[in-house]
Each structure stands twice: as structure tokens, then as C-alpha cells.
Amino acid sequence: MQHYDLVLLGAGSGSMLLNDELAHLRVAIVEPDRFGGTCLNRGCIPSKMFVVAADAVEGVRAAARLGVDATVEHVDWKAIRDRVFHRIDPLHDSALNYRRENGVNVYTEEGRFVAPQVLRVGTEQITADTFVVAVGSRPVVPDIPGLGTVPYHTSDTIMRIDEVPASMVVIGGGFIAAEFSHVFGAFGTDVTIVQRGPRLLMAEDEQVSARFTELASQRHRALLEATVTSVERHADGVAVTVTCPSGDHVVRAAMLLVCVGRRPNTDRLDATAGGLELDEHGHIATDGAYRTSVPGVWALGDVANHFQLKHMANAESRIVRHNLLHPEDVRTLANKVAPHAVFTNPQIASVGLTEQEARRRKIEYLVSVRDYAETAYGWALEDTTSFVKVLANPLDHTILGAHIIGPQAATLIQPLIQAMTLGLTVDQVARDVLYIHPALTEVVEQALLAL
């Protein structure tokens, strides 16, 4: 039985925890899949590389409104795909070799707890003074009659297909569904989205969700308040039976993409055998410092929180590293604000309270909505659908939430994130800061001034 000072379970954000300050420890990494985790191999990074190509296509198609006569002659899917993965795939071997060359033992079989702080990896058992669990999450595969008998894809596999399908049914209406519908729609696929709720992106502010649903429905067929009741093979792909308010429909398509959420990998880890307390969704329960119910075991990332955000996992990794090195000065994540973006078309970014959440929690608020069309750069874009929405506390004028739908949303929201993090008031951010004219950031300035 091998004993280590530190064992990392998962080589995504968990592997990022290692640096020169921990070089004196005897360390092992347990990673049965690829180094880099979901983000690098199956998530954030490759998907956004596809999104950039899709944005380029849509930009050409939208150029007519600017007086530019342009067309897209051909989309070379294999060239786009290979550009993405020829860059990403070699990183696994280089990362694995780097860790081994620097004295880290790497186990490439799945690890499962057999007792608190005792892990079985293959035929071996290993122990450690400290474990950091960062085994991530995976796509949920819903229990739909017939799904197991037909070919289907999830976000894990869809980016490596050999050709763009003529048609696709997307089950789900969240972040992943929105992004891949944009990608494949831009590349010529006839997309049908099946969403259980009355709008797409239901977790967003209701005004943003409604606007996105309106715009997405112009690009794709969107079946709302719809339930998939069965799936079966069809001569040209799959036939999906859907129950909607208007009745039952059978949607036939060449390809099926399932993206209805993600689940933590605690079951694959046998977390309960390791004494780890789980919440009702299967995430490992931690305190504010990311300590679990077992002394000496820490957890971070998708396996421990509901955000499913790489930037949150990275921040947690930095906090855990500090706490391992400085047990007398344990820190928590100072910033409780978790911003996110959806890289669809139009782009969406959000932080803090939505208007419906503020109403539900009976939190008093002021709200300001400013259209891109009210700014000079919005005129340049000929934009008629994008807007910035900001909620503020009417008493102390701090920002409660911000929501943007439109070009560059993920970038435009950053000063609002910083203001919320630093406790700045609307007055300070609106009046004490100069906004470059005629940059698109003026739409943020105008929304704040209106408050």
C-alpha cells in the first residue's frame, strides 16, 4: 500500500492546484481520463473554438444590414474540428509527462474509496494524509424510452463527429443546448430544440430568456413546454416523439443531441464508502473552505458545487492550495458572486440576482434596461435586439445583479462584476469612471446613469 502526502483525484482544476510551493510533498494524481478535465477536452475550450467559427459564419450572413454583400461559400467541418483537436489533444500527453518528470505518481485507472482516506486504484490501494477530490461531472442521460437503442450524442462526443448532419434534434434548453444549436445551425443543420419549460435558458433573467427564445425561434424550430416520450430508429437517423400543448409530434432527424444537465461523478468515486457526506444532488458537501465531512479530505469544482463553471473551480483550487499550505490561516472564497456567460448567438452574460429571483425573495430593487440601439456603437452594429439590464439596492445603491444579451456580453459585464465584488455603488461606477466614446461600453454607462 503506497502512502502519499497528497493525492489529487482528477486532473482538471485539481491538477492546477500543484505549484512550486507544494513541490516538497509526495504527490499522486488519479486520472482515468484525459488531463485537463472537461473544460479542455469536452467543454469550455473546444466548444468556444467552434463558436468562434459559427460567429464568423453568422457575421457574414448578417453583413447585408450593413450594406455588405457577402456570402458563405462553404463550411469545412473537418478543417474546423481538426484545428480544434489537433491543438488540444497533444496537451494530455505533455501534461502527464510533465507531472511524472517532476516526481508526481500518476495513476491512469479509476479510483474508488474503500474506506475514509483509503483509495483502490486498479489492483492497488493507496492512502494519503490529504486528499483533494476534483473528479468533475458528466452529462445526464435521461430515462427516455428507446434512447438506449438509438445512436445519440452528448456534449462529450458531439464535437468529434465526422460531418455536419443535415438535421438534428436537441433535447434540452439550457447553456449547452443553446451553444450547440448556434454552432450547428450556423453550419447548415436544420435544428429542432425540445424544451420542457415555456422558454429557453430558463435560469437566466426572465427578460433575457424571453428575448433569447424569440430570437432562437427565428433560427431554429423550438418546441416549448414539450416532453420527449420516446425515441426510435428511423431510416435516416432517429424519430423523436414529443408531447406538446398542441399535441403529439414526431420529429425525424439525422442526429440526436442530448443536453439536459450534468451530474457529479461522486457515484463513480464511491464517495459514501469514503465517508463523504453528499447533498441531495450528489455533490460532496463542503464548508466555506472546501473541507469535507472527513478530516484531511477537501473537494472542489463540479463535484462539490452547482455552478458548473471553470472559473469558479480555478478560484476554489487557489483557495484550497492556500489552505493546505497555511492551516493556521484558512481562507474562504471572498467573492460569492458567480458570473457566467452563454456563448450562443446572441451572447449572454449574467451575474447576481435576476428580477424574478428578487421578487421571489421579496428583495427591494431598482431596475434599469438600456438597449444597444441607444448608443453610437449600437447604431454602427445596426442592433435592434440587444440590451443591458442592471438591478440595484434602492437604499445603499449597490448593484444586485446585471444581465446582458448581445454582442460582447461576456466582456461588457466585467466592470459590473468588479463593482459587485468590490462593493462599489451605482453612483461610483456610473459617475466616477470615464467610458470611452463611442465604444460599446457606453451602453453599460447609460444603464447605470439611468439608475
- Annotated catalytic sites, by residue? 437
What is the distance between the alpha carbons of residues 291 and 271, in angstroms, rounded to a whole number? 14
Q: Does a cis peptide bond (omega within 30 degrees of 0) precede residue 346?
A: yes
Short-list 257, 249, 166, 212, CA closest to 389: 212
What residues have CB less than 8 Å from 195, skipping those under 6 apart?
A: 172, 173, 177, 222, 223, 224, 225, 226
- Secondary structure class of 97 (helix, strand, coil): helix
Query: From its phi and psi, is residue 400 left (phi > 0), alpha (psi between -120 and 50) or beta?
Result: alpha
Do residues 2 and 126 lie in contact, with contact meaning Cβ atoms separated by under 8 Å?
Answer: yes
d(CA 62, CA 76): 20
Distance CA 191, CA 165 (A): 10
* DSSP annotation string for 41-91: HTSHHHHHHHHHHHHHHHHHHTGGGGT---------HHHHHHHHHHHHTHH
Pair 364, 394: CB distance under 8 Å: yes
For residue 439, give the C-alpha cell.
465604444
DSSP codes, 170-207:
EE--SHHHHHHHHHHHHTT-EEEEE-SSSSSSTTS-HH
d(CA 241, CA 252): 9
Strands across the sheet containing 227-234: 227-234, 237-244, 247-253
Q: Are 268 and 258 in contact (CB under 8 A)?
A: no
- CB 152 within 8 Å of CB 238: yes
Q: Helix H segments across 364-422? A: 376-381, 409-412, 414-422
Q: Which residues contact 58 (CB under 8 A, 6 or more apart)?
A: 182, 186, 345
Kind of pairing, strands 105-107 and 27-30?
Answer: parallel
In contact, 12 and 313? CB cutoff 8 Å: yes
